[in-house]
Structure 1
């Protein structure tokens, strides 16, 4: 089968691997499309240090069941599916508590170098991580389940409710996921702070008020005061400072963005105003399952999220443009078997 191989920083080529065969408890999936995640881009440039040469990345995926291994029930060839890429041990205290993202023995499809992941024509995954989606749903939506689960988990970590004035810092794919998660959680007053005009427009189409943080007072004016909940989808010193400056006494600030491994914290703003800083990483199996069910209902707002599509031959160029900041795209999908006819005009 054909795969995309990361050879080192800024070097992505088409390669080949042996066709996988499902063992007991496994599901073989014919990949339809896989989204390029921000972590994939950081892996592509080599800046996060979490990828190894020769690795096949990719974890935001949708496809069809090709075959199942012995003992697999409830899945059959042809089913439309997505995959929860977080493979937990299922035995530890974290797993027993429904916090699979904290499992110390977890493996992540797309991150672990030994797993041939979703930028490939086929993907092998544990049956317990495979979620069936409705055939009536637009197929591309399945590749959105994973990033949307990240935003949903962040909103749940922050205790988001209809009573909150929510600020989302950053309007990229995770920021967009946070907007939709806040709306799913009942929040009606959601503001996004984003300097990129394309992403501001996209955030506005999702039901948020989108503002340019470079405009003095724009955030607090849009909020009509200060936020009670901030979802920081950037994760930098500047973004955490903005979160503190735009939130009120006792506000909760959820750090879900991972722009930098270390940031400077405005400690006085946290302590003297009794703000709560909350970490958020990935999602639990329940978060992923609930998000897959929501996406399966095909809410119309999802049609705005995918704004780029390439085949394998165009993947390297798409990665390069996203990493260099020359692309205006927000979510690009890679179609390993070629672009759908309605996209490429055939």
Structure 2
């Protein structure tokens, strides 16, 4: 089969490689759509140490089953599916509690040396597979993984009903957080980003107020709108010091900041402010297997539209070009979806 193979920093090649092997409990999927995640771009640049060449990236994907293993009972050739890409053991203390995202033995498709879906085919265990509802196209099916990340982040923020919510970062995850926060009853949603184009997308996803720190006094805007108190909840979707600090600075006393962003290994934050104002800082990591299914159901029922997030669809064979552009000059691009020839 053909695949987009990562050979090292800035080295991607569309080339012939071994076909995906179908084990007894596996299904093979003909990939129809796969998203380029920000973590894939960081891996492409060699910044994370989470891509071991040669390997195939891609963990946001959907497709059609074209082969099944002899022990597979739930799936058939022709089924339209997406995949929860975090393999979990099912036996550890976290898995037994349903917290499969915290499984210490998990492997992730498209990371380290575990080949992903930027290829013509991928084989996965049948228990990781979810059926695509009829209204959900393949591009949207490839967005379920990112939506699940956002969903868990919002879920970890607690009850949003009638709350003032700040979303920091209007990339893919931040925009999906915005849409889900709107569904969960937030009273007023503020979205902060340095890109006016992304802030325009945020409005389409449900933002009430957009904030650009380059061109406005965002603290003044937020404090005026909240009677000087600050927001009840801040959800950080970038993962660097300035955005982490912003999530604390604009938070009301006793408020909650949820950190999804995972870019920097270390950030500097005002510890005394966290302590003296009794702020709640909570990390959130990917999603559980069950939450992935919950998001798929939400999307299937029309709760989330990905149209403002998907910037374009491009041929998988041209993936190297789009990785380079996303790394060097993304402009207004948010999510690029790769599709077969």
Q: TM-score range by the shorter chain?
A: over 0.9
CA positional deviation for 1:134? 1.6
Cα deviation, residue 220, structure 1: 5.2
Instruction: Give the one of 324, 328, 341 matched to 1:320.
Output: 324
Equivalent in the alignment of 1:158: 157
Q: Which moves more between the two structures, 62-71 or 87-96?
A: 62-71
The alignment status of 1:51 with 2:55, answered yes or no, reads: no
Q: What is aligned with 1:197?
A: 196
Partner residue of 2:311?
307
Q: What residue number does 2:103 align with?
A: 103
Q: Give 1:302 shift.
A: 2.2
Q: Is the 8 A contact 1:66 1:78 kept in 2?
A: yes
Please tell me the root mean square deviation across aligned C-alpha atoms, in Å: 1.5
Q: Distance in 2 between matches of 1:220 and 1:330?
A: 28
1:132 aligns with 2:131: yes
How far did residue 178 of structure 1 move?
1.2
Q: CA deviation at 1:251?
A: 0.9
Give the aligned partner of residue 251 of structure 1. 255
* Aligned-pair CA distance for 1:300: 6.1
Equivalent residue, structure 2, for 1:187 = 186
Counterpart for residue 19 of structure 2: 19
Tell me the distance in 2 between the aligned counterparts of 1:272 and 1:283: 31
| C-alpha contact (below 8 Å) 1:56/1:117 kept by paired residues | yes
The corresponding residue for 1:334 is: 338
Contact 2:298 2:304 in 1 (8 A): no
Q: 1:203 & 1:219 partners in 2: Cα distance?
A: 19
Q: Could you list the per-position Cα deviations for residues 274-315 of structure 1 after superposition, in whole angstroms to 9, with x for gaps in the alignment?
A: 101101111011111100111222446322221121112321
Q: Could you say if the C-alpha distance between residues 320 and 160 of structure 1 is closer, same or farther in structure 2, counting changes exceeding 3 Å? A: farther
- Equivalenced residue count is 336
**Shift of residue 219 of structure 1?**
5.2
The answer to whether the Cα contact below 8 Å between 1:94 and 1:100 also exists between their aligned partners in 2 is: yes
**CA apart distance, 1:8:** 0.8
Moved more, 210-219 or 321-330: 210-219
3-state SS of the aligned residue for 1:235?
A: coil
4+ long deviations beyond 4 Å: none
Q: How does 1:61-76 map to 2 (within 5 A)?
A: 61-76=61-76
Any idea what the Cα deviations from partners look like across 1:89-140, whole Å, max 9, x if unmatched? Answer: 0011100001001101001111131x22110011111111100012332221
Q: Does residue 167 in structure 1 map to residue 177 in structure 2?
A: no
Quote the Cα distance in structure 1 between the aligned partners of 2:80 and 2:112: 25
Instruction: Give the 3-state SS of the residue equivalent to 2:81 in structure 1.
Output: strand
Matches of 2:202 and 2:75, distance apart in 1: 36
SS at match of 2:7: strand
Contact kept in structure 2, 1:137 and 1:297, CA below 8 Å: no
Post-superposition offset of 1:222: 5.1
**Could you say which residue in structure 2 is the equivalent of 1:344?**
none
Query: Where in structure 2 are the equivalents of 1:290-305 lying within 5 Å?
Result: 290-299=294-303, 301-305=305-309
| Structure 2 CA distance for aligned equivalents of residues 274 and 125 of structure 1 | 45
1: CA distance, partners of 2:271 / 2:308? 38
Conserved? CA contact 2:60–2:145, under 8 Å:
yes
Alpha-carbon deviations, 1:21-57, whole Å to 9, x = none? Answer: 3212111100001000010000000011111121101
Unaligned runs of 5+ in 1: 339-346
- Find the residue that maps to 1:307 and give its secondary structure: strand
Is 1:274 aligned to residue 273 of structure 2? no
User: CA offsets, 1:51-72, max 9 Å, x none?
Assistant: 1121101000010111211222
- Under a length normalisation based on structure 1, what TM-score does the superposition of the two structures give? 0.93
Corresponding position of 1:176:
175
| Matched-pair contact (CA < 8 Å) for 1:309–1:333 | yes
Given that 2:92 and 2:103 are in contact with CA atoms closer than 8 Å, whether structure 1 keeps it comes out as yes
When the two structures are superposed, what TM-score results if normalisation uses the length of structure 2? 0.95
Q: Which residue of 2 aligns with 1:80?
A: 80
